[in-house]
Amino acid sequence: MSIRAAVIGCGDVSTVHFEAVAKLDGAGLVAVCDPHPERLAAAAELYGVPGFADHQSLLDAVRPDVVHICTPHNQHASIAADCLEQGVNVIVEKPLAHTLAEGRRLVDAASRGKAKIAVCFQNRYNATSQAMHSLLATGELGAVVGAAASVMWHRSADYYLNRPWRGSWEGGGGGLMMNQAIHTVDLLQWLVGDVVEVRGNAATRFLGGTIEVEDTAEFVAEHAGGARSVFYATLGHAYNAPVTLEVVTEKAVLSLRGDLTVTYSDGRVDVIPERTSDTGGRSYWGVSHELLINDFYGRLHDAEPFWISPAEAEKSLRIIKDVYRQSFPDAISRVS
């Protein structure tokens, strides 16, 4: 193999990273890392590679070309910065970091060295997202008038009890918006434009006995081009409903719910289907982790930074933290 990969964090989402690396031509897994002995032993045995309890030991012993970071949020920035400073390329799961300060640290680390870094906003690679972005970029639909998005999902108390960091400010940096809805927040700002003002609220509506972070949130965002978007998300729904995202332009309405429907002002209707996933990942992770990972490996020798960079990922982090500052002024002071 010409590209040597390692995975740090062998929890739930690591599955799609292991699968993507296994399918890559010219690349292969050389090490895994996890502080939990049972998870580490299981991953090392399953993939037939050495296991390490901490990332620095892995870097010292194996020196991989690419590291995939699938840890709790509060470890993203510190591990990624260590890798970049040692010239190791990085793919890090969202969010960029659990605090704005740590996010800025990673943005700065990425700007100093030659190693590349990608942040996993894989839904930008969805066929429907790509189609929406392309249609809007051509200008043929006229100016964007407004947008709306919703994330109506379900999480039980057990989801948080099994991984307590998910429900804490210190471990997750937030709840619903940082762990589930951040992909939709990212798509909103990517499709409609940079957000210049946010007015919103986040609250713990039904899991207050289990978590200290939010399970429900809403906001109104003003975008640089003059459009306004509205957003609502909750983990109190009965099931994980498809994410909805609607963009209204002068000449069409683009409605995403699974597939993309484009309704033109002259009455024409186009439907762009979404791909289906054949990985072991959960359906709500989307279908495009593999595409993002393949693209990153294919661009390792490009001169320019990867397009979903820390600076790009910082945009959604700032939107979310702005809502938190308006909603949890005491708690957010510990993690901003």
CA distance 297 to 5: 10
Percent of the chain past pLDDT 70, that is, above it, reads 96
Reply yes or no on whether the pLDDT at 64 is more than 80: yes
The predicted structure's pLDDT at residue 279: 54
User: Which residue shows structure tokens 């969805």?
Assistant: 126
CA distance 170 to 178: 12
Reply yes or no on whether the pLDDT at 285 is more than 90: no
Reply yes or no on whether the pLDDT at 280 is more than 60: no
The closest alpha carbon to 234, from 175, 168, 152, belongs to 152
The closest alpha carbon to 140, from 226, 251, 248, 253, belongs to 251
**Would you say the pTM of this structure is higher than 0.75?**
yes
CA distance 322 to 232: 15
User: Which residue shows structure tokens 């970029």?
Assistant: 137
Whether 50 and 26 have beta carbons less than 8 Å apart is answered as: no
β-partners of residue 245 are 149, 256
Phi, psi torsion values for 210, nearest 5 degrees? -120, -40
For residues 242-268, average pLDDT: 97
Average pLDDT, the chain: 95
**The token pair that represents 277 in the structure block:** 């996933």
